[in-house]
Structure 1
């Protein structure tokens, strides 16, 4: 996770420089779109702080007040990122609508265009770098921050395109400065809502995507002695997953042997999926009382009367 902290600190420094530069340049060059783009970069500072906070807190071990660890601080940080973006995008849309209605002069497009291009290159590079680190660490929080950088680079691209049109067309095309900002505002609002909703799902223990669940399930019945299972549940806790299930074994096995089978199932899942932090297994005898019709069975070794999904 050191790489995750490092790239976030670098992003934080870049956002500070770009944000201040674009706000000052936008004010001096009379470009509302460039100022809005600069404010977006400054808000990115808050989200970078949230990412750093989440990554640091998630590393803390369980304690007397947090029996299940601190991984949900990552989800809390994602909630803050999404919420901050929703507020920013909403305020941006209101401001642009007011400006379009009242009208304003044309921006000094030449200088503003160069600033927007510099921002585009910096933020696009930061997106690819952060995304690579997020994929390597399988960090949903870092991936959210990476797409935050991509949103900023797209914002700068839109601003640059509008400023080129104003540069070439003159005052008659000045409305594009606000029109592009309006389009970008709606896009930012949509992406912010996705991040916010995903964080809410995590905090409310919503099940992850079905393909993730199926990927975890495939390792259970591969273990010798694991005959069936049911009540298989997965939840995302920050950037990791927790799994629990009821595992059926032969009724005649000793407690020690049943425990050994469960331990092997757990080890298989943890070794194949480093993103899984905990696996809780309840061992049951595979008899009529415990076999569930909704369970998953080893067809060849399932007990008599077992119903296979």
Structure 2
């Protein structure tokens, strides 16, 4: 199996695994927080439980992305379906902005989400604390897989897990101070919520910007381009190249360029050089999905005309 195909299969399997665990955790914790919040009369924990269940939308979206983005080319999608990943990233980013904006708004309104101090005790605080620990661990796990697989989609979902841990942190702090010191400490929840939610909006904005850039075929960072270029002129018959272009397709890259080869090569030999250069690039970079090479003769006039030097 080629390295690029193996990389895609590995990324799909690991991404689905961590997302399925996230879905299971969100469902379990969400139900637990709703039951305890309803039983103990704490609206803060109840609202946090609803948020955890809403995270299921993000998890399902990621699973759909892994299913459809790896579908092969068909009659209506000649370049495959990998950009579906960028669409899901955009969806998750917008979902994060909406939720975090709601948190900021709630921090500056007079709506009191917790009024019944008598019903509170250790149990709601412990549940919120467990939720915080589990969702923070899920964030770091998903983030680690995303960095290993270089997956912007998983990184976006990791930050969505972080939004839940931020929410649980605010709830835990609120419940603790109300339980120990009374409702006068509610303002700390507002301050903490506003600060952390603003940070989430900033991170979500980066996700939205990056997904839009990918959908617009914006070139990747210069260091990525330079790293890809290093493998082009490793063949003795590859003299120079120009019109080098890279675009993001989901979590992968498409590369195309014009390769100038020794002028006296036959068509077959030129084709072989092109194939060798392409394979060298694919072997060195499993995250590259396709390489398109246009062969040209490396004549002196042609090199001068193109402004290329060997």
Please state which band the TM-score falls in when normalised by the shorter chain. Answer: 0.7 to 0.9
TM-score (normalizing by structure 2): 0.85
Counterpart of 2:138 in structure 1 is: 126
Query: Partner residue of 2:233?
Result: 221
Equivalent residue, structure 2, for 1:74: 85
After the TM superposition, which residues 257-276 of structure 1 pair with which residues of structure 2 at under 5 Å, given as runs?
Answer: 257-276=269-288
Q: By how many angstroms is 1:26 displaced?
A: 4.4
**Structure 2 counterparts to residues 231-250 of structure 1, below 5 A:** 231-250=243-262
Secondary structure of the structure 2 residue equivalent to 1:227: strand
Aligned to 2:155: 143
TM-score (norm 1): 0.86
Deviations 1:151-200 (A, max 9, x none): 32233234323433333332221222233222222122222211111111
Aligned partners of 2:27 and 2:52 also within 8 Å: yes
- TM-aligned CA distance change 1:229 to 1:277, over 3 Å: same
Give the aligned length.
Answer: 296
- Look up the match of 2:75: 64
Q: Offset of 1:124 from its aligned partner?
A: 2.1
- Tell me the residue number matched to 1:40: 51
Instruction: Report the Cα offset of residue 270 of structure 1.
Output: 0.5
Instruction: Determine the C-alpha separation between the residues in 2 that align with 1:192 and 1:14.
Output: 22
Residues 43 and 113 in structure 2, CA contact (< 8 A), matched pair in contact too: no
Greater Cα shift, 273-282 or 154-163: 154-163
Question: Quick check: 2:101–2:201 contact (8 Å CA) kept in 1?
Answer: yes
Deviates most, 188-197 or 23-32 = 23-32
Q: Which residue matches 2:94?
A: 83
Tell me whether 284-293 or 193-202 shows the greater mean CA deviation.
284-293
**Structure 2, gaps ≥5 residues long:** 1-11
**Which secondary structure does the structure 2 equivalent of 1:70 belong to?**
coil
SS of match in other structure, 1:200? helix
Q: 2:165 aligns with which of 153, 168, 173?
A: 153
Q: Is the 8 A contact 1:109 1:166 kept in 2?
A: no
Task: Confirm whether residue 289 of structure 1 aligns to residue 302 of structure 2.
Answer: yes
Say what the alpha-carbon RMSD is for the aligned residues: 2.5
| TM-fit CA distance, 1:42 | 2.2
Whole-Å separation in 1 of the counterparts to 2:41 and 2:96: 24
Larger RCO: Structure 1 or Structure 2 (Cα < 8 Å, ≥ 6 residues apart)? 2
Question: Aligned partners of 1:267 and 1:291: how far apart in 2?
Answer: 28
Cross-structure match for 2:3 = none
Bigger shift: 149-158 or 58-67?
149-158
Q: How far apart are residue 290 of structure 1 and its match?
A: 4.9
Residues 106, 174 of structure 1: 8 Å contact kept: no
Q: Name the CA distance, whole Å, in 2 between partners of 1:97 and 1:26.
A: 23
